[in-house]
Amino acid sequence: MKKKPTRNMSLRSHIVFAGFCLFLLVLIGNLFWIQIVKGEEYRLKAEKNQLSDTVVNAHRGTIYDSNMKIIAQSASAWLVYINPSKISSEEQKTLLVDGFAELFELDRETLEKKVNRSESGYEKIIGKIDNSQKAQLEEYIKAHKDQKLSMIVGIDPDTKRYYPLGSFASTVVGFTGSEDTGRSGLELQYNTQLTGKSGRIITAKNALAGDMPNDYATTYDATQGYSLQLTLDEVIQYYLEQQLAQAVEETQAKYAYGIVMDIKTGAILGMSTMPDYDLNYPYTISSSRVLEELEKIEDEQKKKEEKLNAQFSQWRNRVISDTYEPGSVFKLFVAAAALEEGIMTPETTYDCSGSIKVANYYQHCFNHKSHGTQTVAQALPNSCNTFFITMGQRMGKEKFMKYFKAFGFTEKTGIDLPSESVPVAGKTYYDVDRMGIAELSSASFGQTFQITPIQMINAVACIGNGGKLMTPYLVSKILDENGNIVSETTPTMKRQVISEGTAKLMAEYMEQVVVWGTAKNAYVAGYHIAGKTGTSEKLNVPGENIASFAGFAPANDPKIAILIAVDEPQGLTTGGAVAAPVAGRIFENVLAYLNIDPQYNDEELAKATVTAPNLVGKEVSKAKLEAAGFTVKVVGGGSTVVSQTPAANQPMPKNGVVVVYTEETAQKETATVPDLTNLTVSEANRIAVNAGFNIKISGTTQSGGEVLSYKQSVAKDTVADQGSVITVYFRSSVNVQD
Amino acid sequence: MASAKKKKTSNIFFAKGGMDVTFFLLLMTIVTIGLVMLFSASYTYSYYNRNGDSTYIFRRQLLFTLLGLAGMYAISRIRYEYFRLAAVVGVFVSVGLLLLVLVLPEYKPGFKRWINLGFTTFQPSEIAKIGLILILAYLLEKDYKSVTGKVPSDLVFRISNGKITVYQSFTKVILYGLLIIVFAGLVYLENHLSGTVLMLGIGIIMMFLGEVRYKWFVVAGGVILVAVIFLVANPHVLEKYAGERITAWLDKDYDPTGARWQTNNSLYAIGSGGFLGAGLGQSKQKHLYVSEPQNDFIFSIVCEELGFVGASLIILLFALLVYRGIHIGLRANDRFGALLAMGISFQIGIQVALNIAVVSDLIPNTGISLPFFSAGGTSIFILLCEMGMLLSVSRSNKAKE
């Protein structure tokens, strides 16, 4: 019965074994395919599963003003996301949609779409939420513990851009959009430097998203964004903005813009377009006037479009993006060119009859006024059109264009801002080949071509800078996170446009423009202000003007240049009446801020302010002696002075009133502030002193009946302490048209 | 290596000769590698599921392996002639257990594969496999003549009053076939598709080695081919669980977080291994990506850690083991010993082949373990006992020399 294994069995077993081996070979072949041929593909897929790649956002750099005051700053915020693949019930979906919609005011429809993407592992819900919002969300998750929302909702660190100064230099600084990238202004221009480089933390995760206990984590540190130190000075910018905002309000102008520039370097100390906007809420329309107009629109679609336009409009940095016909301010460059080229000398005279025939028609001076025989020293303050038409014609178009080009009007200034308007030959100005006598004549007093305000201030600064044309700039230093300097801007001179001699002469003439010419409202007692006004018709808005002033100070040693333009002023419309006073007030503040000591002439000295003497603690008789020259008013029956108005060392007029109190308990003597506007200097002073107040004079005080006060620092009819100092602003209404 | 121990005199119960050293060394190599890989593959699973006790599964496996080795040695010392007795008893034990598991409460919901013994669980199909090998070896030896020769069936002859002559080569094969189908059918009812396939495979190979005529295999092959094509085309006729696994095999994008999760992650693991592997212990996919990496899918972790080279070497080791098992069988004293040794060898072989095919997505994921690698106390114990039987056969060979 027991049979030995047969040969047949041996054969069969080898057949089966061969089949088995064949199968194993197939298996090995398949492994080869998976591991060697497709290995990389599978490895990447595995890594995609295993590795959790967390992006660590780089902190966007800070933007500082020149004094290291923070203008823009990134702060920690939070980003909320969900993992829809972990959602297991309808209740969870409802809770999530309800919660997010309520907490973050998000659109329910969008949220529903997100929670229903069950194949997705990551859906961003909202970014840039602050700590309190985060806390609210955590509270909500906790309140619904039974639904295990914490398995679905994730909160990651994020950053948010804050602008602590709100609207400060908004059109210059710009703001950031989603993903923390710059959308406009410096935020856009320096986006790369500010952004830094995001870091990553790569960790191996197990399938439950926990860290693998013994595995690796690779960290690529985030490189923090660089910070910018601007040339903008908070104080100067503040003066500028304040004055421009006032100008918009007072003149009912559409916009007002201005630039304050360091003449020697080209550094921009202040730059503003009004109305501006709050950088923290760039989409909110800031101008109440624009808002009112928007409200009036009935059609929703139209309203939406107009709102969008209004947003773009308020973001626009008009100083570099808008162009205008400079008008009479441009006569400066014709004069400079003519002097430089020897077309005229300081002695060259021209007899102005009030008009001149060019080609087939007549060009007039303002109001057809005849200026008579003038040298350039008179023609500039008079802003005489015929004089400059003649000089332009004598110069010829080639030379005219040579200087037009040299002063930088055919090129971008190269300021470090985006969207600077590009001059185009044949479009924004006539090039030599297209320029006829009519065009040349009109161009000679600043018409037929368009330039940007930044080009204008740069060219004016060039005159102040001894003929050296600089490249304007806004960023002085780029700093790393530790405050080390990464790069520093060195002022760049573009070219010597006119000789220093010509430049000096021009400065003298320009000072005359302010002293007695069309720019007299820019006058500041104690300072040599050089300037020129202009009034240009807006070609695209008939009947509307841009009133402008450009100048620098001190004329004998120029430090700062200022350009002010008021776009569509109502009522008074000329540069001398509208822009020059604004510039004057800014000069007054900025020059004092820059510690440039005033140098009064005798006439000025008479009206000059002194500082109040310190009388506190002194016997009344002694105090009276010490305050000789002032009118001393004693209140109370005590023998020693316990307090005084104005306080010691406060500026006040030489012959002003000092009220001294001799009793601690004495009530302050008060009085009602009188109306001090529309008065001459002496009238204003008399009325103020009679009412028990001191006045400080600001603006032009050139003798003659045409100087009248137009503004006072303390409104009339308010009750104020006697002896208080009220600033009264004066301006001239005569011969300020150009 | 002549390690034949001749100190024991001939005994009717104990096997005399020394065991086959080549087979033993191959086996011990595989068992050792298997243990090491089990440790590597299971420690993360143990860590996550046993509160940080990373060696929990490994310790159990080691214990059962040692017990199994003891059992293996003891069984190898028994003269294999006595296994014929076990064959007859085994049929009843196997069928009994396979029936019992169907009526006992389910250990894992939806599956009736396991009997819970409290300290451990075991699968009756593990017993049934060796039971089927034993009974077929026994029957194919006993019926050698009637299966291969032209012996008319008395039974049919008598029932039909001599009108119909049917050879036993027909009736016996039908009988064996029914036996195999009973075993396979009961396993199928456990919701254990791969066990069913394995049972059928073992049965068919045993019959083939037992010299059943070739034409039967042509017929069986045809039937199986048709059945497979039908099932692949209509997976829904199978029970939901098995059907879905076929669907998931056919459609590589099917339910990536569910039915194909394990297979996809297995492929990622294998692919990540590349040529030389990530190094022992360096698998990342075992961190809960490959579900239960210590069980059926341990080979994917082997591939990830040891690479194409290591995986191929392990396959080669298994091939050598099977070959040596056949060698032992062919040198056995009788057909029972031969069929037993070869049956056990091919059982290992089929399991290895099917397991690797599953892990590398060549066939549907049906749940089949890798011998000597996959975690499972009773499984390794029974496997080693089977190895003991094989070694017992080899001892008889040696004794004969």
Cis peptide bond N-terminal to A326, omega within 30: no
Strands (E), B53-174: 115-116, 121-122
Query: Does A37 reach chain B within 8 Å, measured CB to CB?
Result: no
pLDDT of residue B5: 45
Residue in chain A nearest B315 by alpha carbon: A24
In the predicted model, is pLDDT for residue A453 greater than 70? yes
pLDDT of residue B285: 82
Q: Which of A217, A214, A207, A204 is nearest to B52 (CA)?
A: A214
* Residue B156, C-beta contacts closer than 8 angstroms, at least 6 positions apart: B164, B165, B166, B171
Closest by Cβ to B308, choosing from A12, A31, A208: A31
Specify the DSSP element, H or E, that contains A464.
helix A453-464
The answer to whether residues A587 and A555 touch, using CB atoms and an 8 Å cutoff, is no
Range A697-710 average pLDDT: 71
In the predicted model, is pLDDT for residue A367 greater than 80? no
In the predicted model, is pLDDT for residue B7 greater than 70? no
Alpha-carbon distance A148 to nearest alpha carbon in chain B (angstroms): 20
Residue in chain B nearest A8 by alpha carbon: B211
pLDDT of residue B6: 44
Judging by beta carbons within 10 Å of its beta carbon (0-12, 13-18, 19+), is residue A16 exposed, middle or buried?
buried
Q: How confident is the model at residue B83 (pLDDT cuts 50, 70, 90)?
A: very high
pLDDT of residue A217: 62
For the stretch A290-319, pLDDT in tens is 888 888 888 888 888 888 889 999 999 999
pLDDT of residue B401: 58
For the stretch A644-679, pLDDT in tens is 888 887 777 777 788 888 887 777 888 889 898 888
Residue A196 in tokens: 């830094």
Query: Does A36 reach chain B within 8 Å, measured CB to CB?
Result: yes
For the stretch B192-246, pLDDT in tens is 888 899 999 999 999 999 888 888 889 888 998 998 888 888 877 777 777 778 8
The dihedrals phi and psi of A127, each to the nearest 5 degrees, come to -115, 175
Query: Does A26 reach chain B within 8 Å, measured CB to CB?
Result: yes
The verdict on a CB contact (< 8 Å) between B330 and A35 is no
Alpha-carbon distance B131 to nearest alpha carbon in chain A (angstroms): 20
Interface with B, mutate which of A2, A3, A7, A13 (most B CBs under 10 A): A13
The answer to whether residues B204 and B180 touch, using CB atoms and an 8 Å cutoff, is yes
* Residue A157, C-beta contacts closer than 8 angstroms, at least 6 positions apart: A56, A57, A76, A77, A78, A79
Range A701-726 average pLDDT: 79
Q: Which residue has the tokens 């022992």?
A: B280
Calpha distance A115→B377 (Å, rounded): 45
Interface with A, mutate which of B282, B287, B309, B363 (most A CBs under 10 A): B287
Specify the DSSP element, H or E, that contains A318.
helix A318-321
pLDDT of residue A561: 94
* Residue A348, C-beta contacts closer than 8 angstroms, at least 6 positions apart: A375, A376
Q: Write out chain B residues lying below 8 Å of A43, CB-based.
A: 268, 271-272, 274
Q: What is the DSSP string of A182-202?
A: B-SHHHHHTHHHHH-B-EEEE
Residue in chain B nearest A205 by alpha carbon: B287
Calpha distance B154→B166 (Å, rounded): 8
Alpha-carbon distance B81 to nearest alpha carbon in chain A (angstroms): 11
The verdict on a CB contact (< 8 Å) between A35 and B333 is no
For the stretch B249-286, pLDDT in tens is 888 777 776 778 888 888 999 999 999 998 888 887 88
Q: Write out chain A residues lying below 8 Å of B79, CB-based.
A: none
Closest by Cβ to B287, choosing from A6, A35, A206: A206
Q: What is the CATH number of domain A53-226?
A: 3.90.1310.10
Strands (E), A308-444: 350-352, 355-358, 361-364, 372-374
Closest by Cβ to A43, choosing from B208, B271, B331: B271
The dihedrals phi and psi of A53, each to the nearest 5 degrees, come to -110, 100
In the predicted model, is pLDDT for residue A328 greater than 70? yes
The dihedrals phi and psi of B5, each to the nearest 5 degrees, come to -95, 125
Task: Please report the ipTM that was assigned to this predicted complex.
Answer: 0.92
Range B70-93 average pLDDT: 92
Range A481-487 average pLDDT: 88
The verdict on a CB contact (< 8 Å) between B273 and A39 is yes
The verdict on a CB contact (< 8 Å) between B332 and A213 is no
The verdict on a CB contact (< 8 Å) between B308 and A23 is no
3-state secondary structure (DSSP) of residue B294: coil
Calpha distance A577→A553 (Å, rounded): 19
Q: Write out chain B residues lying below 8 Å of A1, CB-based.
A: 142
* Residue B371, C-beta contacts closer than 8 angstroms, at least 6 positions apart: B348, B351, B352, B355, B383
The verdict on a CB contact (< 8 Å) between B326 and A20 is no
Q: What is the DSSP string of B203-238?
A: HHHHHHHTT--HHHHHHHHHHHHHHHHHHHH-GGGS
Q: Which stretches of B144-281 are DSSP H helices?
A: 144-148, 154-159, 168-189, 193-209, 214-233, 240-250, 261-273
Q: What is the DSSP string of B363-388?
A: S-------TTTS--HHHHHHHHHHHH
Give whole-number Cα distances, A360 to A437, A438, A539, in Å. 11, 9, 22
The verdict on a CB contact (< 8 Å) between B274 and A43 is yes
pLDDT of residue B301: 93
pLDDT of residue B3: 45
In the predicted model, is pLDDT for residue B2 greater than 60? no
Q: Write out chain B residues lying below 8 Å of A30, CB-based.
A: 360, 362
Q: How confident is the model at residue B346 (pLDDT cuts 50, 70, 90)?
A: very high
For the stretch B297-324, pLDDT in tens is 999 999 999 999 999 999 999 999 999 9
Q: How confident is the model at residue A212 (pLDDT cuts 50, 70, 90)?
A: low
pLDDT of residue A144: 83
3-state secondary structure (DSSP) of residue B322: helix
* Residue A721, C-beta contacts closer than 8 angstroms, at least 6 positions apart: A645, A659, A668, A669, A670
pLDDT of residue B27: 96
The answer to whether residues A645 and A658 touch, using CB atoms and an 8 Å cutoff, is yes
The answer to whether residues B397 and B20 touch, using CB atoms and an 8 Å cutoff, is yes
In the predicted model, is pLDDT for residue A605 greater than 80? no
Calpha distance A649→B228 (Å, rounded): 108
The verdict on a CB contact (< 8 Å) between A34 and B270 is yes
The verdict on a CB contact (< 8 Å) between B289 and A42 is no
Query: Does A9 reach chain B within 8 Å, measured CB to CB?
Result: yes
Range A398-402 average pLDDT: 91
Report the Cα A80 to chain-centroid distance in Å.
34
A-B CB pairs within 8 A amount to 150
For the stretch B37-62, pLDDT in tens is 999 999 888 877 777 788 899 999 99
Residue with the larger pLDDT of the pair A456 and A704: A456
The answer to whether residues B330 and B343 touch, using CB atoms and an 8 Å cutoff, is no
The verdict on a CB contact (< 8 Å) between A13 and B268 is no
Q: Among the listed ranges A132-146, A214-228, A386-400, A517-531, which one has the minimum average pLDDT value?
A: A214-228
Calpha distance A738→A365 (Å, rounded): 8
Rounded (5°) CA angle B49-B50-B54: 100
For the segment(s) A321-596, the CATH number from 3.40.50.300, 3.10.180.10, 3.40.710.10, 3.40.630.30 is: 3.40.710.10
Beta bridge partners of A537: A545
Range A537-545 average pLDDT: 84
- For residue B250, the one-letter residue type is L
In the predicted model, is pLDDT for residue A705 greater than 60? no
Calpha distance A415→A474 (Å, rounded): 7
Q: Among the listed ranges A151-155, A381-385, B356-360, which one has the minimum average pLDDT value?
A: A151-155
pLDDT of residue A679: 82
Q: Which of A584, A553, A533, A543 is nearest to A736 (CA)?
A: A533
Alpha-carbon distance B196 to nearest alpha carbon in chain A (angstroms): 19
pLDDT of residue B291: 78
Closest by Cβ to A207, choosing from B210, B288, B334: B288
Query: Does A29 reach chain B within 8 Å, measured CB to CB?
Result: no
Residue with the larger pLDDT of the pair A545 and A59: A545
Task: Measure the N-to-C terminal CA separation of chain B; round to a whole number of Å.
Answer: 14
Strands (E), B255-371: none
Calpha distance B200→B182 (Å, rounded): 10
Q: How confident is the model at residue B1 (pLDDT cuts 50, 70, 90)?
A: very low
Calpha distance A640→A188 (Å, rounded): 63
Q: Do domains A53-226 and A321-596 have the same CATH topology?
A: no
Interface with A, mutate which of B133, B249, B270, B324 (most A CBs under 10 A): B270
Query: Does A24 reach chain B within 8 Å, measured CB to CB?
Result: yes
Query: Does A25 reach chain B within 8 Å, measured CB to CB?
Result: no
Q: Among the listed ranges A21-25, A208-212, B328-332, B382-386, which one has the minimum average pLDDT value?
A: A208-212
Report the Cα A489 to chain-centroid distance in Å.
19
Q: Write out chain B residues lying below 8 Å of A50, CB-based.
A: 284-285, 287, 289
The answer to whether residues A334 and A400 touch, using CB atoms and an 8 Å cutoff, is yes
In the predicted model, is pLDDT for residue A239 greater than 80? yes
Closest by Cβ to A8, choosing from B211, B288, B322: B211
Residue in chain B nearest A34 by alpha carbon: B271
Which of the 8 DSSP states describes residue A473?
A: B
Q: How confident is the model at residue A32 (pLDDT cuts 50, 70, 90)?
A: very high
In the predicted model, is pLDDT for residue A327 greater than 80? yes
Q: Indicate the domain borders of chain A.
A: 53-226, 321-596, 603-732
Q: How confident is the model at residue B351 (pLDDT cuts 50, 70, 90)?
A: very high
How big is chain B by its Cα radius of gyration, in Å? 22
